[in-house]
Structure 1
């Protein structure tokens, strides 16, 4: 049964891709749009094969490589001088990395090391291709929640978590305010809302509900 399903998936994908290729060449040969549905169709037999064999880790690696090749193709076809495929590629590669990490993927050490590598890699892209604006601060803000959440969740220090998260968020608003619009101090408004999180945590810890 599994062989029949796999054969059907392979045959169906090939037939569909060939059909789309023919239609593409006949109707609009100047633009190879068939690549987009072909990329999705290829995932069908690949997913069935690796699901049947139980090799999910290898599936994540193969799918990631195919996705990166697809992104490179799109980058080249669009003729852009900017290698934008690097931005999603650096994010996608963490799927197989975390899959192969196994039980270590949920550890604090893995979160810290991964966060440093992610922030460092995107920081390098920021410096190389768009140094005029430090957008890395948004990536860093998002990624830092990963190790911070693991640490405070396991230690069950909820108030400390709310305090650190509020400080991190407030720092983001202050930095963005200073960089984007230094003539207008607007960061105090969202910061005022954010500080109510640790304040409420502290109040209910001291005065629990009856």
Structure 2
């Protein structure tokens, strides 16, 4: 393997709670509507801006989007702990010479907030967000774009994520897929399509034979 490409929310950072909070705040403020976590999960795929445009009944989409980012930024430190185990994994992979990437449905704006606050800015060789693709996961467009930018063949890459959409996208891109349940909050309790591996602890990634000394 030459490249490890990751989903972000629920995979590299425990950001799902702050996403849920910001969405719930927006829907309550603009639609006076209470949406639960499962309803929000069902909306996932496109970027948060597209989720709001597609699901908010109120026409003030731009104001709602701004409020989402305001709340996401304001509450990030309260909801999202820094994960030294994941940071250590990424730094070790980079030190070993692997290319690192992110393919996420998040918009660039919220991803930049998280990467800055979690001090992960300088770790990745390629980042593909929901703003960079026409077709979000489970479509493989984002992974294929990342591979092209890295100049890496699909059989030399791993895609790691916490949702069915992640695994389906990885399968469609013909890369090795790893489903993870290694953070407190993740998208899919069970995977509808079986990944090549399922990991429940961060340290397991270094023990499954993909990283050769």
Tell me, yes or no, whether TM beats 0.5. no
Please, what TM-score do these two structures have when normalized by structure 2? 0.24
Greater per-residue strand proportion: 2
Using CA pairs below 8 Å that are at least 6 residues apart, which structure has the higher relative contact order?
A: 2
Please, what TM-score do these two structures have when normalized by structure 1? 0.24
